[in-house]
Amino acid sequence: MNKKTIHLKLNGEPREWSVFPNELLLNVIREQEMLTGAKYGCGIGECGACSVIVNDQVALSCLTLAIAVEGAEITTVEGLVKADGELDPVQAAFLDYTAYQCGYCTPAMIVVARTLLDENPQPTEMQVREYMRGNLCRCTGYASIVRAVLAAAEKEKHLAH
Amino acid sequence: MREFDLVIPKSLPDALDALAANDVIVQPLAGGTDMIVNIRARVAQPNVLVSLNDIAELREIRRDNGTIVVGGGARIADFLKHPLLIENAEIARQAAFHFANPMIRNLATAAGNLASASPAGDMSPPLLALGAEVALASKAGTRTLPLDQFFISVRKTARRPDEIISALRWQVPPQHTGHAFYKMGLRAADAISVISVAVVIERAGDTIREARLALGAVAPRPMRAYQAEALLNSQKFTDAIVQEAARLASEECSPIDDLRGTASYRRRMVKVYVARMLRQAWERAK
C-alpha cells in the first residue's frame, strides 16, 4: 500500500494531503487536520455524526475514502465561521435555542442544516425533519434543533432584504 | 481498516481491464455506502478496489428514443432531482424519497443498491415494476438481463466478479400509467423494509392494459408477483379482482420471521398494501 498525494480545498484553504488508499476522509480531517467537529458515530451510515460538505453536497466522511476527494471543496463546521469570527446564522441559532445537550451530534447537525438552507432557504418544519432525518441525537433534543434551524432561516430571510 | 489498493480509472475500458485481473480479489467501488461498511465488517476482503466514480459515461442519464438509460454511477439523489427521471421514473422517485437519508442518497448509486441484492433493497421493487433491464459490462463485452433475472438469492446476483452494472434501462412509461410505492419501515429514517410494494399500472379506460407488481423483503430476492399480474392483465379493474390479486401476491411471496416482523404478519401486510397500491396506481393512471 502506497501513499498518494492529493490536492483539495478544506474550509476555503488549499491543502495537500498524503494519504493511504484505505484512509477515510473523517480520519484525515480529525487526525491530520486536527478539526474535530466531525465525529465518528456508527460507522455504517445511520447516525450522520461525520457529515461534512463535499462540493456543496452533504456526505458521510466515515464512508468516503480520502483519496476520492481529490480536487474537491470540503467544508466542516469549523469552516462556517467567518474570517472575523462571526458565527454562521445556523451556529448562532443553535446557541440561541440551546439546540444541544452533549454536543456530539451538533457539528453535523449544523453542517447539514446549513446545506438545507442553501438548497431551500425557507423550509417548512416537515422539510427540516425530512432533510435532517439521517442525523441522530441520542439526547433526543430534536425539538430545539428544529426550532433553531427554522429560526436561522427566518433570520436569513430578514438579512437578505 | 483492511489494507487495499485503490485505482481510480477515468474510462470504462480502463475500469473493466482492472476488474479482469484474476490474481487478486478485485472489487468495484461505487458510492461505498455498502462496500466500506462491508470491508470494515470483514464481509468484503478486496485486495484492490476499482473506483467507478471518475468515469463520466457512468454518470449519464439520457433518453434514447423510447428508452430511459441511467448510467451505473447515477446516485439515488438523481432520482429526486433529475428532470428526466422525475418525469419517467415516478415510482423510483417515490422510493428514493424513502431511501435512508440525504447524505446516503448523495453517495449511494441505484446500480450499487441492486448489486448488493438485499431482499429489502429499496430501489429493487420500483425498478422491477418499471420493467428495468441491467447492462452488465466486462472486458469480454456487454450483456443485458431483465432485472428479474439479475437477482438470484439473498445477496447473490448474476453479476460475475469482472462485471459491473454499466447502465439501467427501461421503456418510457406510456400515457395513462400510474405508479404507487409503499415502504413499511419501523421508523421514517434509515429504515430497513418490513415489506415494500411497487405497482405500475397502464390503463385503457376501465381496463388494465398491463400491471407490474413487485415486492421487497418478502422473499430471498426482490420479486415480481407474476401470478397476480397475470390475473390483472387485460381485465376490468374491479374490487373483486383487486382483492384476488392481493391474495395471490400474498401467497406467491415467501417471507421469513426476523427481527422486523414475522412471516405471517408480512403476508397479511402484502395483501393489504398490494390492494391499496393497486387502487392508488389506478387512480393516478387517469
Give me chain A's average pLDDT, please: 96
- Measure B190 CA to nearest chain A CA, in Å: 6
- Inter-chain CB proximity B107 and A59 less than 8 Å: yes
**pLDDT band per the 50, 70, 90 thresholds, residue A160:** confident
Query: Residue A161: what pLDDT?
Result: 64
Q: At what angle do helices A106-119 and A89-96 cross, to 10 degrees?
A: 130
3-state helix, strand, coil split of chain B in percent (to 5) is 35, 30, 35
| 286 residues of chain B, pLDDT tens digit each | 899 999 999 999 999 999 998 889 999 999 999 999 999 999 999 999 999 999 999 999 999 999 999 999 999 999 999 999 999 999 999 999 999 999 999 999 999 999 999 999 999 999 999 999 999 999 999 999 999 999 999 999 999 999 999 999 999 999 999 999 999 999 888 889 999 999 999 999 999 999 999 999 999 999 999 999 999 999 999 999 999 999 999 999 999 999 999 999 999 999 999 999 999 999 999 8
Dihedral sign (CA B215, B166, B42, A109) = negative
- Inter-chain CB proximity B190 and A46 less than 8 Å: yes
Going from the C-alpha of A147 to that of each of A80, A144, B49, B238, B255, the distances in angstroms are: 20, 5, 43, 48, 42
Cβ contacts from A onto B, under 8 A:
80
Per-residue pLDDT for A71 more than 90?
yes
Per-residue pLDDT for A88 more than 80?
yes
Query: Residue B188: what pLDDT?
Result: 82
- Inter-chain CB proximity B32 and A64 less than 8 Å: yes
Contacts with A134 from chain B: Cβ below 8 Å: 100-104, 189-190
Tell me the three cell numbers of residue A116. 438545507
Name the residue facing A48 among B32, B53, B101 (closest C-beta).
Answer: B101
**pLDDT band per the 50, 70, 90 thresholds, residue A96:** very high
CA distance B159 to B156: 8
User: How confident is the model over A101-155, as pLDDT tens digits?
Assistant: 999 999 999 999 999 999 999 999 999 999 999 999 999 999 999 999 999 999 9
Residue A48 — φ and ψ, nearest 5°? 80, 0
Q: Read off the pTM.
A: 0.95
Three-state secondary-structure class, residue B200: strand
Name the residue facing B190 among A2, A59, A134 (closest C-beta).
Answer: A134
